[in-house]
Amino acid sequence: MRRAKSLWVAIMLTLAPAGAGAAPPADPLGSPMWIAHARTLFGDDPVRFDPRVHVSFPMIAENQRAFPVVIDARGIAGVRRMILLADLNPIPVAIDYRPLHAAPYVATRIKLDQRTPIRGAVQLDSGQWLVSGGWIDAAGGGCSAPPVSRVKGDWADHLGEIRGEVWPMAQGYNRVRLSFRHPMDTGLVENIATYHLEALAVTDGEGRVLGDMDIWASVAEDPAITLMVDGSPDAALRVAARDTNGRDYRANLILARQSPMPGGR
């Protein structure tokens, strides 16, 4: 099976039009969408697979509406951009994160519409992309079933609620966890237009943007995002987000009342 997929990739590589920059490397996951996604996302930038990009997720997709994924590239210096991608999702990119003054780490939950590769792609200052990931089996419908809050009908009652906390970490980072109430409508459900958070930035007390990201509707309903931003112990952090209707979301995080993270994760 693996061999057949590799062969298919090899054939695709041979058939790929010449002159469009270097062809992406053969995909160890044998995904039918790898070449297309690689060309769209990485263009002519060099790409290689690198296991130092740790992409972790559970062994089972218990809930295809909210599947947790962590991309941790803290073992790599000079990461300027991180993309979370599920090849076979109708909305393949979930998050495009720029850790400006932050560790190259992001955790969130995404929808799965079928069995798919889950990938983390990180771009270095040199322009080089490093990619890693794995397959996850999943029942269908994560992207094409209505969100729970739409079915319950209470999404608007809670829109704008943000929960969060910040923990100082041993390595000088602050670990930030954010959770927004938002239906994150994909536009793939009958009579429910696309409506999702599309931008998020975390800023320090002096207005310096520590990290910002673009967000797509393949992020799970009620998005939960974990980051590790640069910090000083007395820092107050500000969170600003916007959705596709232009609604702004604001939150403040105060560090002082938290004790340091046990275990220094």
Query: For residues 20 and 60, which CB has a smaller minimum distance to other proteins in the complex?
Result: 60
Least gap, CB of 125 to other proteins (angstroms)? 27
* Non-local CB neighbours of 49 within 8 Å, separated by 6+ positions: 25, 27, 28, 130, 131, 132
- Between 66 and 73, CB nearer to other proteins: 66
Q: Are strands 236-243 and 248-254 parallel, antiparallel or unpaired?
A: antiparallel
Distance in angstroms (rounded) separating the CA atoms of residues 161 and 259: 25
In angstroms, give the least distance from the CB of 249 to other proteins.
7
Closest approach of Cβ 265 to other proteins, in Å? 7
25 exposure class (CB count in 10 Å sphere: 0-12, 13-18, 19+): middle
Q: How far is the CB of 214 from other proteins (least distance, A)?
A: 20
Per CB under 8 A, residues contacting other proteins are 56-60, 62-63, 66, 68-70, 107, 109, 139, 160-165, 167, 175, 177, 179, 222, 224, 226, 238-240, 248-253, 261-263, 265
Query: Shortest Cβ distance from residue 234 to other proteins (Å)?
Result: 17
Q: In terms of DSSP bridges, do strands 129-136 and 47-49 run parallel, antiparallel, or are they unpaired?
A: parallel
Nearer to other proteins, 63 or 128 (CB): 63
